[in-house]
Amino acid sequence: MGCPKALMKIGSRSWWEIQADRLDSIEMASVWVVSSEVQRGLGSEGKSQISTLCADSGLPMFESLVAGLESVGTEECTGLFVLPVDVPVPVGNVFEALRATEQVSVPTFKKRRGHPVYLPMDWIQSINWNHLPEGLRRLDRLIASDVVEVPVDDPDTVVDLDTPEDVQRWLDQNERECS
């Protein structure tokens, strides 16, 4: 994409701004696990309402997940959502439907699995995150035997902005939000 996805321009705005606004609109607290480059980019654009945790971009993505999980206090938390940066934040009822399962769950749209992934706190605490065998150090593999699929009506749950063409398709459908 030519730059970190969080910093890419979508219309006239940075992607992270669109994501932050979507999270704010559904009153979803978040911790963003980002590279030092993205952390600097967020700061230089003048918004500090985002809670960030800097992760080593040279390590596998799973290490960022573990760092994020370890940074969250567990006393008042019943579960966490995992949303990759290149997936648009879905509407609020998607989060509600996933949380209502009280199980590891993923949304499905037209029978396709998407994001966010919901991880209940009791499940998170049952995993020895730092001592998993190499074959399980991917979230999709780790949750495979436990995951519940939840049908939703939000197509953004299966959007993945990997190419400029993906971005343009998404922008064409969401132009008002991005200008």
| DSSP secondary structure code for residue 128 in this structure | -
CATH number of the domain bearing residue 155 = 3.90.550.10
- Please compute, for residue 133, the number of CA atoms within 13 A of its CA located in the half-sphere on the CB side: 4
pLDDT of residue 43: 72
Question: Which domain range does residue 163 map to?
Answer: 5-178
Tell the residue number behind the tokens 């035997």, with chain if given.
145
3-class secondary-structure state, position 24? helix
pLDDT of residue 136: 83
d(CA 46, CA 68): 23
Per-10-residue mean pLDDT of the chain, 179 residues long, equals 79 84 86 82 66 78 83 77 90 94 96 94 88 86 93 93 86 69
pLDDT of residue 155: 93
Span 148-164, pLDDT tens digits: 999 999 999 999 888 88
pLDDT of residue 42: 77
Domain count, the chain: 1
Closest CA to 120 of 77, 63, 66, 152: 77
DSSP notation for 25-45: HTT---EEEE-HHHHHHHHHT
pTM, full prediction? 0.88
125 with 58: CB under 8 angstroms? Answer: no
pLDDT of residue 112: 94
